Chains A and B, each alone.
Chain A
Amino acid sequence: MTIVYVPGDSAARSIGADEVAALIAAHAAKAGIDIELRRNGSRGALWLETLVEVDNGDGRFAYGPVTPADVDSLFANNFLDAGEHPLSLGKTESIEWLATQDRVTFTRVGIIEPLSLSQYEAHGGLAGLRTALTHPDVVGEVLASGLRGRGGAGFPAGIKWRTVLEAAGDQKYVVCNADEGDSGTFADRMLMEGDPFTLIEGMAIAGIAVGATYGYIYIRSEYPSAIETMNKAIEVGRLAGVLGKSVLGSDKSFDLEVRAGAGSYVCGEETAMLESLEGKRGMVRPKPPLPAISGLFGKPTVINNVLTLASVPAIMKDGSKSYQDRGIDRSRGTQVFQLAGNIARGGIVETGFGISLSEMITRFGGGTLTGHPVKAVQVGGPLGAYLSADQLDVALDYESLAEAGAMLGHGGIVVFDQSVNMLQQARFAMEFCAAESCGKCTPCRIGAVRGVEVIDRIIAGEEREKNLELLNDLCDLMTEGSLCAMGGLTPLPVRSALVHFPLEEVAK
């Protein structure tokens, strides 16, 4: 039977995927054609959404971007048998944008139906977990893979896991940080909506590795579909024995649940997230103690980002070497980049570390959407630095970016053309910090508000030198004195906007 794939991912649905799916189903029914309509995840080529795929037995053929208005003509052109159409993209696997990526973490996203455990297994799912159940040293394997935390800090996952493994505790936890709040990032969501079992499998492996029997996925409330999909997948997993007292029939126990956040950016900070999970106000905790030693409810806790945990099944399945072979220097494996902003071809680009920013923007992104030259690129979310046009040669890996005064963060890349006013962007960084500060530490709580006021005075031309000096002192204080990265990193976009885009220019 012909299988038609219409993504059920939120991004696709936001531009009419549901309607496209409904029209295709209705059209087929009316014409008496038997089709199987599958709602897969998104392939991540957001510029092609809604990306409709047809599997007529010869493989999957893609059409996109499909709007509801195109459905009639698709049928007219016999798309169910891979017929030619202005929106024809040929075989999906041959679309260059996809074919040149190296999908490891996202290997199944967009390919399978998210809640089909059989499709998941058919595409390599659960193999990693099975390996882990009998593996003598899961932590060592993860350590050897070189996997680093994908949430932003880039801390080696294996070292964190080892700390938890070696910490004494009658109960340990695995907490997945899915409070994806950075502007221009969406990989966590797409993975949870498109391939939830990968995350479940990754968490189960983490639990088995460190001796934790329970996990929490902390998903921001702005992701209702991800929450729903994860909850359903957990239920499926329990029924199938992937989760529960006996994971895949072993003597290992692991279960987990989803907790919804409450609209706070700072709850993506791991200690604030723990507070929130404990039912408290989302305020940052001082470290030490490290969560790995005293985390959720005071117990040793692995906290990793969605992408970190979702990379683990592949590492266990194919071995650490396969993962380690990808990437460069101390940035091993692949990174799930997210291209956004003023970009022609936005979406998920998973590829080994080390690709240059310019290659990312031109080869995958196709330049700016407006066609104007790139003026600035903010990498790593709202707390990431702005890189100027002459810095685009920087390689996308942890160390190269740090050297350039920037950071990889969660892999978000937001592109701006010449219309951007960098002084306003600097102001926005302070404003964002003021809006999202948890209010615990003084440099962030009061400093961000004063930062906006000082920049306003600079913009207005009031005692510019004095105010620039004050802003500089404030940035020093926030960087060195803040309790967490929220206040501590805010000066990064502020300063890069001012350093790389001189005042004369930005004040225009």
Chain B
Amino acid sequence: MTLLHEPDLGTPAVKSDIEVELVIDGMPTRVPAGTSVMRAAALLGTAVPKLCATDSLEAFGSCRLCLVEIDGKKGTPASCTTPCEPGMVVHTQTPKLEKMRRGVMELYISDHPLDCLTCPANGDCELQDMAGVVGLRDVRYGLEGANHLDAPTDDSNPYFSFDESKCIACSRCVRACDEVQGTFALTIEGRGFDSKISPGGTDFMSSDCVSCGACVQACPTSTLQEKTVIQIGIPTRTVETTCAYCGVGCSFKAELKGNELVRMVPLKSGGANEGHSCVKGRFAWGYASHPDRQLEPMVRESITDPWRKVSWNEAITYAATRLKDVQAKYGQQSIGGISSSRCTNEEVFVVQKMVRAAFGNNNIDTCARVCHSPTGYGLKQTFGTSAGTQNFASVAKADVILLIGANPTDAHPVFASRMKRRLRQGAKLIVVDPRRIDLVRTAHIKAEHHLQLLPGTNVAIVNALAHVAATEGLLDEEFIQTRTEEKAFRDWFEFIKKPENSPESVEAISGVPASELRAAARLFATANNSAIYYGLGVTEHSQGSTMVMGMANLAMATGNIGREGVGVNPLRGQNNVQGACDMGSFPHEFSGYRHVSDDTVRHQFEELWGTALQAEPGLRIPNMLDSAIDGEFKGIFIHGEDIAQSDPNTKHVKAALGAMECVIVQDLFLNETAAFAHVFFPGTSFLEKDGTFTNAERRINRVRPIQPPKTGKHEWEIVAELSQALGYPMQYGSSAEIMDEIATSTPTFAGVSFAHLDKVGSVQWPCNEENPVGTPTMHVDGFVRGLGQFMVTPYVATEEKSNRKFPLLLTTGRILSQYNVGAQTRRTENVNWYPEDLLEMHESDAELRGIVDGSFATLSSRVGETVMKVTITDRVPPGVVYSTFHYPTSGANVVTTDYSDWATNCPEYKVTAVELRPSIKPPQEIGMAAADLGLELVNE
């Protein structure tokens, strides 16, 4: 495909049931009332010249290029700010307008460098285009007048440059920062001719800028320009694809010169992101060509041996032989696999198929185990389907947003921007979090309530909220009667009314004042549309599943399910958590969440796959690891997950890995886990993958390769060949064929195919005959399970408790610029923002222990200890500490425990009793040393 230019209609679309008729340049047209004259003209194919207008931003009316003449109206109104009126007769091209537009351009160019030929934006500059369009031939003012040509360039941001001398002061960057991103980092300093764009009087890196790049995208000139464009030049072709970071699943245009990626530009037609992005998706893709990337398969006899680079054939045969040997020696159940939420649906599908069909057992689990498994469990129990209920756009209709255990501005930034826009419009926010996240108080946003609970007391809180609704007559009786199971509701109603669930009782458990809880509950229960959004602060607890059900109860009890603006919405951590779960990655179920014991389903797969399948659940990751330590589980295929860094209780994980006889790692890098591997299969980055990701809103997005696999093999091919070598024939001509098999075997995916996706862009499952273009809102007329089921959700305190030895509670989270274990982001310029993990603690706790801001401290728990740098902050209350987990050197998971969710064994990352003491040592090179060793040996 050549370079894709998405049309820019100048001003945003307006929704209205009323249409107005008007005539533009003699052509009659009809548009929704409120549409600008500019947009109406653009829809007719008439491009009115413009510079300050772009359809991602509200009209501003500053450049004065888009002036038009309207019969009966005096003067020359700007078409961007003039709404269409019935019967209007508009002229966009008249001699008078031509002269004025030329006059405007003459002014612009009188204060602009005339270096077009050497300018990085040459050929991609709206100012240049407009000079051409208006036919500017002369700048009569000369070029000697007052100007900004000597203005400095701010190169502080690693990804883009700000060349003030080229600025035309259109404010598109400022407005993008305000309206699109919602950070308000940019402003205009000075006035009149001295007006200049400023990141708050400092440079970009020292400012509030979050480097989302919206300003760069909005800039019509080369003032804000990607450094890659400055270095490489203007791209020549586009590949539409999907970001591989978080569960938002932003659509991007990968813009290339040949096969070289020049820049990533968010796709305006992207369903999840609608033209917006964050610093990771837009800029942090350099890891894909980082020198650490492994491109050749490697094997070794023992993990103390050096790696040996071998051919694909040899590697696959070697791996198959070792696996077969293990099974021969220890039995069919002695091996298993872990699929990756980072990989495509197609890759995940073949991995679980390999385990079930080629390994001959159900020992398949996924890294979703450690993040959103409780979501799957809880929503399945209550609603009948293991997925969020809404699309992202739904938040624009929410009146009250209950945000629990999620930090969207860091972890789901593009969705956070949508949420912030809605909050700026007046929706009310209730934050439930032990830590004061940015959304509690940020530019033009202030949460109505921040329920700053003690870590581990979520269920008590959600019960208290429901208790208030139930006892104060705020339930949606009609919804409950018509949409939910009566008996289950009655049981729940009796339970929730109990005094133990009252805010007054819960105050003692959670530390949240009863009055605040009551006020928040009333706000939630009485709004027209109340929506729940949540993250891992809900799931990664010993009662993660209970909490998910508790939220579902609250939503049903208040009738907030089944329409836009409401719902229970998990914010998924990784790009394809939803998809990995959908694809049958859990040991107890096939794709589409169907239990392995279901004979009909199993027989269907047995027929399709031509082999007998087991009817009992297989092992979950923690059970695999326990079993490995017991000497019963001996071989594992780990796809794109670094369990030695990401899973809790690192010591235990490493012991288990060390006890195995065949560890196969398929990944981009020699990660921490690879130090224990015998076979390494190099994987492909998302830029080489051909497939689909499914985001947090069940949206199936296409991932398209910009180049062939750098390793010479698609990841699904590796799996298919390994299966083959294990004796199970698995053959596909392309990943599209895998999707066809998924569609054939999985009712919710029945209507999905690459061809269909290429045609419609994306679909939200269920996508089938009934819903050919997908299902944005679920449970509209009935729940997937028929009637919704209330679940009784008693609060059970975690066994992980603080005591005199470990008096502090540690909770964890991620930061905007880094991503999970950091394997990707640490290999990009994003390290400039966050070069090491930090542990946040309250001043009073620090003082008590003699720990000063910026110093190192030893962090110890019942299972281990590590050293981290401390930052003192009032974001956390006394008694609670918080850390990120992006760097292997800090090893936050060295201290996290084996405690987990009772139903799904999702680890209890969010509550660890710890103690801190000052340390003079910097963090140890935990794990990293092993990986480095592996690298060194290869190079020898």
Q: Do A and B bind each other?
A: yes
Instruction: Tell me which residues across on chain B come within 8 A of A438, comparing CB atoms.
Output: 191-192
**Of B67, B83, B107, most A-chain CB atoms within 10 Å:** B107
Of the listed stretches A203-211, A413-421, A448-456, name the one at the interface; the rest are far from the partner chain: A448-456
Considering the complex of A and B, which 4 residue pairs feature the smallest CB-CB distances, nearest first?
A: A439-B195, A286-B61, A286-B81, A437-B192
Give which listed residue, A441, A449, A450, A453, contacts B62 with CB less than 8 A.
A441
Which residues 132-160 of B sit at the A interface, judged by CB distance below 8 A?
Answer: 140-141, 145-146
Complex Cα gap A260–B64 (Å): 31
Contact between chains at A483 and B61 (CB < 8 Å)? yes
Complex Cα gap A286–B79 (Å): 11
Q: Does residue A440 face the partner (Cβ distance < 8 Å to B)?
A: yes
What distance in Å separates the Cβ of A192 from its nearest Cβ neighbour in chain B? 26
Q: Does residue B104 face the partner (Cβ distance < 8 Å to A)?
A: yes
Contact between chains at B190 and A439 (CB < 8 Å)? yes
Q: How many A-B residue pairs have CB under 8 A?
A: 106
Of the listed stretches A16-24, A229-237, A474-482, name the one at the interface; the rest are far from the partner chain: A474-482
Instruction: Tell me which residues across on chain B come within 8 A of A453, comparing CB atoms.
Output: 141, 145-146
Contact between chains at A446 and B194 (CB < 8 Å)? no
Q: Does residue A375 face the partner (Cβ distance < 8 Å to B)?
A: no
12 A-B pairs whose Cβ atoms sit less than 8 Å apart in the complex: A286-B61, A439-B192, A440-B60, A440-B62, A442-B63, A443-B104, A443-B107, A445-B169, A470-B140, A473-B103, A481-B104, A483-B64
Q: Does residue B442 face the partner (Cβ distance < 8 Å to A)?
A: no
Complex Cα gap A287–B75 (Å): 13
Complex Cα gap A483–B76 (Å): 10
Task: Write out, one digit per residue, whether chain A residues 473-497 have a CB within 8 A of any chain B CB (1) or not (0).
Answer: 1101100111100000000000000
Contact between chains at A454 and B61 (CB < 8 Å)? no
Contact between chains at B187 and A281 (CB < 8 Å)? yes
Q: Does residue A402 face the partner (Cβ distance < 8 Å to B)?
A: no
Question: Which residue numbers of A lie inside 8 Å of B, CB to CB?
Answer: 264, 266, 281, 283, 286-288, 434-450, 453-454, 466, 470, 473-474, 476-477, 480-483
Complex Cα gap A474–B110 (Å): 13
Contact between chains at A480 and B100 (CB < 8 Å)? yes
Question: Residue on A with the closest CB to B61?
Answer: A286
What distance in Å separates the Cβ of A498 from its nearest Cβ neighbour in chain B? 18
Q: A441-B64, A445-B169, A453-B145 are in contact. Are A436 and B192 (CB under 8 A)?
A: yes
Instruction: Tell me which residues across on chain A come within 8 A of B107, comparing CB atoms.
Output: 442-443, 446-447, 450, 477
Contact between chains at B64 and A264 (CB < 8 Å)? no
Q: Does residue B111 face the partner (Cβ distance < 8 Å to A)?
A: yes
Instruction: Tell me which residues across on chain B come within 8 A of A470, comparing CB atoms.
Output: 140-141
Instruction: Tell me which residues across on chain B come within 8 A of A474, comparing CB atoms.
Output: 103
What distance in Å separates the Cβ of B22 from its nearest Cβ neighbour in chain A? 15
Question: Residue on A with the closest CB to B80?
Answer: A286
Instruction: Tell me which residues across on chain B come within 8 A of A446, comparing CB atoms.
Output: 107-108, 110-111, 193
Complex Cα gap A266–B192 (Å): 10
Q: Does residue B262 face the partner (Cβ distance < 8 Å to A)?
A: no
What distance in Å separates the Cβ of B766 from its nearest Cβ neighbour in chain A? 40
- In this complex, the interface size class of chain B, counting residues with CB under 8 Å from chain A, is 35 or more
Q: A286-B59, A286-B81, A442-B62 are in contact. Are A481 and B192 (CB under 8 A)?
A: no
Instruction: Tell me which residues across on chain B come within 8 A of A445, comparing CB atoms.
Output: 169, 192-193, 195
Question: Residue on B with the closest CB to A287?
Answer: B81
Which residues 266-291 of B sit at the A interface, judged by CB distance below 8 A?
Answer: none
Contact between chains at A449 and B145 (CB < 8 Å)? yes
Question: Residue on A with the closest CB to B60?
Answer: A286
Contact between chains at A286 and B192 (CB < 8 Å)? no
Contact between chains at B62 and A483 (CB < 8 Å)? yes
Q: Does residue B935 face the partner (Cβ distance < 8 Å to A)?
A: no
Complex Cα gap A480–B94 (Å): 14
Complex Cα gap A160–B790 (Å): 56
Task: Write out, one digit per residue, whether chain B residues 65-109 have a CB within 8 A of any chain A CB (1) or not (0).
Answer: 101000000011010111100000000000010011001100110
Question: Residue on A with the closest CB to B168?
Answer: A442
What distance in Å separates the Cβ of B177 from its nearest Cβ neighbour in chain A? 14
Instruction: Tell me which residues across on chain A come within 8 A of B192, comparing CB atoms.
Output: 434-439, 444-445, 448-449
Q: Does residue B188 face the partner (Cβ distance < 8 Å to A)?
A: yes
Question: Residue on A with the closest CB to B81?
Answer: A286
Question: Residue on B with the closest CB to A467?
Answer: B140
Contact between chains at A437 and B100 (CB < 8 Å)? no
Contact between chains at A481 and B61 (CB < 8 Å)? no
Complex Cα gap A143–B481 (Å): 57
Instruction: Tell me which residues across on chain B come within 8 A of A435, comparing CB atoms.
Output: 192
Contact between chains at B145 and A450 (CB < 8 Å)? yes
Instruction: Tell me which residues across on chain A come within 8 A of B80, comparing CB atoms.
Output: 286
Complex Cα gap A444–B104 (Å): 10
Complex Cα gap A115–B81 (Å): 45
What distance in Å separates the Cβ of B444 from its nearest Cβ neighbour in chain A? 10
Contact between chains at A439 and B82 (CB < 8 Å)? no
Complex Cα gap A288–B79 (Å): 11
Instruction: Tell me which residues across on chain A come within 8 A of B145, comparing CB atoms.
Output: 449-450, 453
What distance in Å separates the Cβ of B182 from its nearest Cβ neighbour in chain A? 15
What distance in Å separates the Cβ of A63 from its nearest Cβ neighbour in chain B? 46
What distance in Å separates the Cβ of A441 from its nearest Cβ neighbour in chain B? 5
